Amino acid sequence: MAFKLTTCAIIITLLGVSPSAVSGESPAMLIERATRAYQVGNHAEAFALFERSARSGNRLAQYHVGVMLLYGNAVEKQPAAAWRWLRRASNAGLPQAQYEFARLYDRGEYVRQSDSVAMEWYRQAARQGYPAAQYRLAAMQLSGRGAEAHADEALRWLHAAARAGHPEARRRLTALYEAGVGDSRP
């Protein structure tokens, strides 16, 4: 019996089948279980489940693993590993990962600060309708950080973020209008 199990494990490994596929749990099921575990305070279990799903290529799980490693939730802070997981999820097109990845470069947290890199990742998340990224991109454009100042484009991003309910974008637009910058119509 042990021989059959070992042979099975070797074949599964050689075929590249993910552990979640063997256990019968889809990456989505793992994420659901991980989320429930996190919500009830079992962060270690949540991390283990997110990591299993992340290793199978699930971009949302990759994001959660990256954030947990970045902030030390359930595991010791591991900035380099967090960066790798966030980069994977960002490259896979997950807007919240792109936003978090941009923030690392915007603040110079665990990486060399780079306005241009931050701006590019904010832009990618903003194009997907992520309000926090729309706001940060607009703020950078208004100040000229990362590129020349672009008030018209910045106002478009602020309007988008404000329409999505981003409170800082609403306050910023109000202040700009009161200062005579831009048109108060979206």
Rounded-to-integer distance, Cα 159 and Cα 134, Å: 9
Is residue 122 domain-resident? Answer: yes
Same domain for 71 and 137, yes or no, is no
Rounded-to-integer distance, Cα 97 and Cα 95, Å: 5
Structure confidence at residue 181 as a pLDDT band (50, 70, 90): confident
Same domain for 82 and 123, yes or no, is no
Query: Tokens standing for 179?
Result: 């200062």
| CATH number (domain holding residue 73) | 1.25.40
Is residue 72 domain-resident? Answer: yes
Q: Which amino acid is at 169?
A: A
Same domain for 147 and 78, yes or no, is no
Rounded-to-integer distance, Cα 5 and Cα 33, Å: 27
pLDDT of residue 42: 94
Same domain for 124 and 85, yes or no, is no
Same domain for 184 and 125, yes or no, is yes
Is residue 83 domain-resident? Answer: yes
Is residue 135 domain-resident? Answer: yes
Note down the domain range covering 85.
26-92
| pLDDT tens by residue, 54-89 | 999 999 999 999 999 999 988 999 999 999 999 999
Same domain for 88 and 117, yes or no, is no
Rounded-to-integer distance, Cα 54 and Cα 8, Å: 23
Same domain for 76 and 131, yes or no, is no
| pLDDT tens by residue, 155-164 | 999 999 999 9
Same domain for 177 and 118, yes or no, is yes
Q: How many domains does the chain have?
A: 2
The three-class DSSP label of residue 41 is coil
Please state, as a whole number, how many other Cβ atoms lie within 10 Å of the Cβ of residue 143.
11
Structure confidence at residue 143 as a pLDDT band (50, 70, 90): confident
Is residue 146 domain-resident? Answer: yes
| pLDDT tens by residue, 103-127 | 999 999 999 999 999 999 999 999 9
Is residue 158 domain-resident? Answer: yes
Same domain for 73 and 122, yes or no, is no
